[in-house]
Amino acid sequence: MITNRPISDLKLEDLLQLPQYSLDDDEKNEVLLKLIMEQLPKAMANPHIKNLFVKQGIDIEKIERLEDVPFIPVQMFKHFDLSTNPDEKIARVIKSSGTTSGTQSIIPISKETAANQMKGLKSILENYLGQRRRVMITIDHKGINDPKKEITARGAGVRGFSIFAKEIIYVLKEYSNGELVLDMPVIERLQKEYSDKDAYAFGFTYIIWKTFCKQMHDRGLKLKFNDTIVFHGGGWKKLTAEKVSKEEFSRTVAEVLDTQPGKVHDFYGMAEQTGIIFVDCERGNKHVPNFSQVIVRDMRTLEPCKVGEKGLIEVMGALSNSYYSYAILTEDIGHLEGMDGCPCGRRGRYFRFDSRVERAELRGCGDTFRE
Amino acid sequence: MLKCYLLNGEFKEIEMEGFDRIAESIAENRAILENMPLTAIVELLHQLGKSIIRDKELAGLDGASYISIWLRRDNLERICRLNFGDNTFADQFADGGIGFSMMAQPRGIVCHWVASNVPTLSFFSLVMGILTKNGNILKVSEENRNTLTALLRGLSNVKVEIGSKEYLGRDIVRAISVVSFDSRESAIGEAFSMVADCKVIWGGADSVKAITALPQKETCEIIPFGPKYSFGVFDRGSVENNEFRSNLRKVLRDVLLFNQMACSSPQVLFFEKSSKSLKDIAQIMKEEFEALPSKLLERPIPQHVASRIITTRGMYLLSDNKEVVQPQGLDWTILISRDPGLEDPVHGGCIFVKEVDSINDVVPFVTRKIQAIVLCTTTEQSRIEFARLATRRGADRIVLPGTAHDFTLPWDGIMAINRLVRWVILYSEKNDGGSNAAG
């Protein structure tokens, strides 16, 4: 018991207010199952979700473990409206990048869900940043967060991470052909006026590497702040193809931003689970916050894997009441490193991301489409 | 850089820059094969077939028992006869019946590009090259090469005596080389193409187009086994008769073999309207899937296929008007749809099932891309009628349940052995229109 109340009495609000990573795995399973079970009958208002349950003969009352909550493959957000609220309650719609298939995921967000997601992200980041606000160095261009434009996953990321920002500074600019380049007047201003300030940097992994680090290196530039913490996520596939390791990435970024590699945190997350990110601790393990759970499923049997076994990452979350986010099976492969025992002191499950599902296909004589 | 796993009868891995040494060795060694009578070649392969089931290593290979049966003397002779008309043509000038004699001369060196989706494919391709007395170089994937080299090791150890003469499997093997190289290495691909007197290509559309376009000798023959699609059809009577369950079981084997990635793997099953609903049929299929041997069910599934299965199941689970019958794992999946037509293959044991008013409603779906149609009908007359219509539109093979993957010629509409030889003629001075053989 980490509060003066029994675990079974905890509400989502409590999980968001508690210090993150404070629940043991068993405790979390208990409280999260209860919270998700409360949401499932409402989710049945969506005809597609109802189909999912009915066709599999799933009786909500009989679900006893988180593993038994039916998952939806992440691709379903590209094909179905998974809203569990009436249209008038949807405040905005997030669209995923759709870089692999070209089709975007559509994620309907209600005001309540947006508020939960914001609180969730804040409580996660607080664990790494403390409670003080800092200067936010956004390694992207300003247009990515233009309120007049459609919200993309990149834009949503910037907005989410800005919770702790005293001031948001975009260090890149975008040419009309879409090319991203260093915004030199901004870089020069940062060099002159911000060296005594605490900062945190945020950006997408491949933009940080391919654009920011490369152009800073080519120009022999560095940025120095009093204390800098870096968060980056997404786009590892492109860097893996270039054979850039996580260690090399962290070392290079730390050099450019004059910080320690241990303060460069990779995080794993997805637009379909906004508000829930899994940030690396200093041991390189990704930790699962109190209001989420991660199940790694065997790619052949779809049964939960044991610690160390690789499989598909399923992300469970209790933040949304506007779409089915309770169990999403990703196309990412990872493995659990352990439960409750990370030397960094964070409780709950911790895992590693290994790769995206291979897309390379056998080009055999049966490799054809219908005509 | 290419890797060579078999050269001059020796099984060892050698790295090479080009094909000169391989081509030289094969050109020299194939002289013995050229002079070997077809009956001796068939007998050696027949003996290999017999040894496969006796040899622990060979018997453990996927498809070993089928290869063993396929290599039987009568089957090989039948295949040759189908292509040559008279097997004598393979050994000597023989009566052409119209004033001159003919002979089937080997083309020279046959280069085989073999896709990796069916591990035993390279062997069947090679046997056609052997029966036509060609030298053979096979480009195989590294993951499948052990299947081929194991079989060729077996062939090396076989010998037969015909009359008073001894023939050695080793002499056939000396005219074969097995290589692998990265297809993106265009210079090696071009060099491989340039040594070919005949190119046999097994692969998807991109591979066939790319390999066909490589520079080659002006006289080079190309035999493309390109991408194809297969499905199954059951008429009303066959759904309602007593053999339905047993026929379904055989079709389901066809579905699961080779992870459903072969051109002959059924992707959709069409059932003519009957007293059994699609749900009834799916239930029987479920029971039959569950009864299949664990070796078939628990096969490895590549990541990208697993991902496609999960996504397709999700699409069917969330959609209205679609049903899915599935176990917890990915062993098999039955997808019930009311959408007309064929479906893009998912592979990995995912079979679409659909109902049609009449089996003839399926005929418009047939194109030149259709290879095998597993056809179950109650009368031979309706079978022939359907076959006539479907093959006219483009289907290559109308087969029975359980035989979708049987490697019989013609394959993909091609009499490959016939094209692996050059038909040559000899006018004889002695005969000016008679029918006597000149050889």
Report whether pLDDT(B403) > 50.
Answer: yes
Better-scored residue on pLDDT, B436 or A149: A149
B344 in contact with A, Cβ within 8 Å: yes
Q: Which residue has the tokens 């037969």?
A: B160
Instruction: Give the pLDDT band (50/70/90) at residue B437.
Output: very low
Q: How far is B73 from chain A (nearest CA, A)?
A: 28
Answer whether A370 sits within 8 Å of B304, measured CB to CB: no
Report whether pLDDT(A90) > 90.
Answer: no
Chain A CB contacts of B317 below 8 Å:
51-52, 55-56
Q: What are phi and psi of A174, to 5 degrees?
A: -115, 130
Chain A CB contacts of B347 below 8 Å:
366
Of A82-91, A210-219, B51-60, the poorest mean pLDDT is in: A82-91
> Which residues are CB-neighbours of B38 under 8 A, at least 6 positions away?
B80, B87, B90, B91, B131, B133
Q: Which residue has the tokens 């850039």?
A: A244
Chain A CB contacts of B298 below 8 Å:
300
Domain(s) of CATH 3.40.309.10: residues in chain B: 229-399
> Which residues are CB-neighbours of A11 under 8 A, at least 6 positions away?
A35
Handedness of CA A328, A331, A332, A336 (dihedral sign): positive
The pLDDT of B225-248, averaged and rounded, is: 97
CB A291 within 8 A of CB A277: no
Question: Which listed CATH number (2.40.40.20, 3.40.309.10, 1.10.260.30, 3.40.50.150) goes with B229-399?
Answer: 3.40.309.10
Chain B CB contacts of A367 below 8 Å:
115, 117, 203-205, 227, 261
The pLDDT of B151-161, averaged and rounded, is: 97
- Which candidate in A48, A68, A367, A371 is best for mutational testing of the B interface (most B CBs within 10 A)? A367
Task: Give the number of beta-carbon pairs within 8 Å between A and B.
Answer: 142
Q: Which of A75, A299, A366 sits opposite B311 (nearest CB)?
A: A75
Structure confidence at residue B436 (pLDDT)? 45
Instruction: Give the pLDDT band (50/70/90) at residue A358.
Output: confident
Class of domain B2-226+412-426: alpha beta
**Which among A162-176, B57-71, B94-108, B389-403 has the top mean pLDDT?**
B389-403
Structure confidence at residue B63 (pLDDT)? 87
Report whether pLDDT(B224) > 90.
Answer: yes
Q: What is the ipTM of this complex?
A: 0.90
Structure confidence at residue B34 (pLDDT)? 96
Instruction: Give the pLDDT band (50/70/90) at residue A369.
Output: low
Q: Which of B230, B264, B303 sits opposite A357 (nearest CB)?
A: B303
Q: Which of B421, B431, B427, B432 is nearest to B91 (CA)?
A: B421
DSSP 8-state symbol, A243: T
The pLDDT of B278-306, averaged and rounded, is: 95
When the pLDDT of each residue in chain B is averaged and rounded to a whole number, the result is: 94
Structure confidence at residue A366 (pLDDT)? 64
Answer whether A365 sits within 8 Å of B228, measured CB to CB: yes
Chain B CB contacts of A302 below 8 Å:
310, 328-330
Report whether pLDDT(B194) > 90.
Answer: yes
Report whether pLDDT(B111) > 80.
Answer: yes
Give dist(CA B34, CA B318) in Å, integer: 62
Q: What is the CATH number of domain A7-77+284-356?
A: 2.30.38.10
Q: Which residues pair with B324 in a beta bridge?
A: B335
Q: Which of B205, B306, B318 sits opposite A52 (nearest CB)?
A: B318
CB B370 within 8 A of CB B228: yes
- From the CB of residue B14, how many other CB atoms can be counted at a distance below 10 Å? 14
Instruction: Give the pLDDT band (50/70/90) at residue A368.
Output: low
Structure confidence at residue A101 (pLDDT)? 60
Answer whether A368 sits within 8 Å of B116, measured CB to CB: no
The pLDDT of A181-210, averaged and rounded, is: 94
Q: How far is B63 from chain A (nearest CA, A)?
A: 18
B335 in contact with A, Cβ within 8 Å: no
Q: How far is A178 from chain B (nearest CA, A)?
A: 31
Q: Where are the alpha helices (DSSP H) in B134-185?
A: 145-156, 169-173
Chain A CB contacts of B226 below 8 Å:
365
In chain B, the percentage of residues whose pLDDT exceeds 70 is 98
Instruction: Give the pLDDT band (50/70/90) at residue A365.
Output: low
B347 in contact with A, Cβ within 8 Å: yes
Answer whether B318 sits within 8 Å of A333, measured CB to CB: no
Answer whether B330 sits within 8 Å of A55, measured CB to CB: no
Structure confidence at residue B237 (pLDDT)? 97
- Which candidate in A361, A362, A369 is best for mutational testing of the B interface (most B CBs within 10 A)? A362
Instruction: Give the pLDDT band (50/70/90) at residue A3.
Output: low
Report whether pLDDT(A88) > 80.
Answer: no
Structure confidence at residue A361 (pLDDT)? 56
Q: How far is B145 from chain A (nearest CA, A)?
A: 16
CB A174 within 8 A of CB A242: no
CB B404 within 8 A of CB B372: yes
A181 in contact with B, Cβ within 8 Å: no
Report whether pLDDT(A230) > 50.
Answer: yes
Instruction: Give the pLDDT band (50/70/90) at residue B225.
Output: very high
Structure confidence at residue B439 (pLDDT)? 39
B294 in contact with A, Cβ within 8 Å: no
Report whether pLDDT(B435) > 50.
Answer: no
The pLDDT of A3-17, averaged and rounded, is: 85
Q: How far is A100 from chain B (nearest CA, A)?
A: 13
Chain A CB contacts of B227 below 8 Å:
365-368
Chain A CB contacts of B264 below 8 Å:
366
Answer whether A299 sits within 8 Å of B303, measured CB to CB: yes
Structure confidence at residue A87 (pLDDT)? 73
* Strand ranges (E), B41-194: 94-95, 101-106, 109-113, 135-139, 159-162, 165-168, 176-180
DSSP string, A270-301: -GGGTT--EEB-TTS-EE--TTEEEEEE-TTT
For B207, the closest chain A residue by CA position comes to A363
Instruction: Give the pLDDT band (50/70/90) at residue B314.
Output: very high
Report whether pLDDT(B364) > 60.
Answer: yes
Instruction: Give the pLDDT band (50/70/90) at residue B242.
Output: very high
Structure confidence at residue B143 (pLDDT)? 84
Chain B CB contacts of A363 below 8 Å:
115, 203-204, 206-207
In chain A, the percentage of residues whose pLDDT exceeds 90 is 73
> Which residues are CB-neighbours of B170 under 8 A, at least 6 positions away?
B9, B155, B156, B157, B159
Chain A CB contacts of B313 below 8 Å:
73
Q: How far is B309 from chain A (nearest CA, A)?
A: 10
The pLDDT of B173-177, averaged and rounded, is: 98
Q: Which of A75, A300, A363 sits opposite B203 (nearest CB)?
A: A363
Q: Which of A359, A366, A370 sits opposite B342 (nearest CB)?
A: A370
Handedness of CA B294, B297, B302, B307 (dihedral sign): negative
Structure confidence at residue B339 (pLDDT)? 93
pTM (two decimals): 0.90
Structure confidence at residue B209 (pLDDT)? 93
Of A154-168, B155-169, B368-382, the poorest mean pLDDT is in: A154-168
Structure confidence at residue B97 (pLDDT)? 78
Q: Which of A340, A358, A362 is nearest to A350 (CA)?
A: A340
Domain ranges of chain A: 7-77+284-356, 132-268
Give dist(CA A95, CA A146) in Å, integer: 14
Answer whether B317 sits within 8 Å of A55, measured CB to CB: yes
Instruction: Give the pLDDT band (50/70/90) at residue A98.
Output: low
